[in-house]
Amino acid sequence: MRYSMQIMALCLVLLIGIFVGIDSAEKNIQKMQGIEGAPRAVELSTKGNKLELNVLGQVVQTKPLDTAKVEKVQKSLVHSENILSNIGNSIGSNMRYYSRMMLNSIFSWDK
């Protein structure tokens, strides 16, 4: 079980490395061709208080948040009376705790 988790973790790291490598290669190719300011495949930028995501030429912007609505939602989350949401929240926090514990035991240097 431990070895399979380590292999899966290594595959995940390899996959992330591939994406970082593709991004680095794209930057260097643009630098060599002299088109350093050219649009990239995926770009993330901020404009004022908005977040802008550009994926293959398609631009997606976030809308500015209304602080009154945010405070209302936060208050409703704190005073939740729904039993199912409380159960879901406790399951989620337990999953987070045990997954962190498991990853800590897998990647710990102490044996």
Which domain, by its residues, includes 28? 1-38
- Domain contains 25: yes
With respect to residue 18, please indicate whether it lies within any of the assigned structural domains.
yes
Q: Quote the pLDDT of residue 108.
A: 75
For residue 19, what pLDDT is reported?
82
pLDDT at 12: 92
Domain assignment present for residue 57? The answer is no
Query: What's residue 45's pLDDT?
Result: 74
| Angle, in degrees to the nearest 10, between helices 2-33 and 83-106 | 90
Instruction: Please list the pLDDT of the chain residue by residue as tens digits (111 residues).
Output: 888 889 999 999 998 988 888 888 888 887 777 777 666 667 777 776 677 777 767 777 777 767 777 777 777 766 666 778 778 888 988 999 998 888 888 877 655
Amino acid 78: pLDDT: 63
Structurally, how many domains does the chain consist of? 1
Instruction: Tell whether 3 is covered by a domain.
Output: yes
- Is residue 28 one of the residues assigned to a domain? yes
Is residue 15 situated within a structural domain?
yes
Q: What is the model's pLDDT at position 77?
A: 65
Angle at 62 between CA 59 and CA 66, to 5 degrees: 160
Supply the pTM of this predicted model: 0.35
Q: Could you tell me the two tokens for 88?
A: 């879901």
101 is a domain residue = no
Spatial contact of 52 and 45, defined as CB atoms under 8 Å apart: yes
87, 80 in Cβ contact below 8 A?
A: no
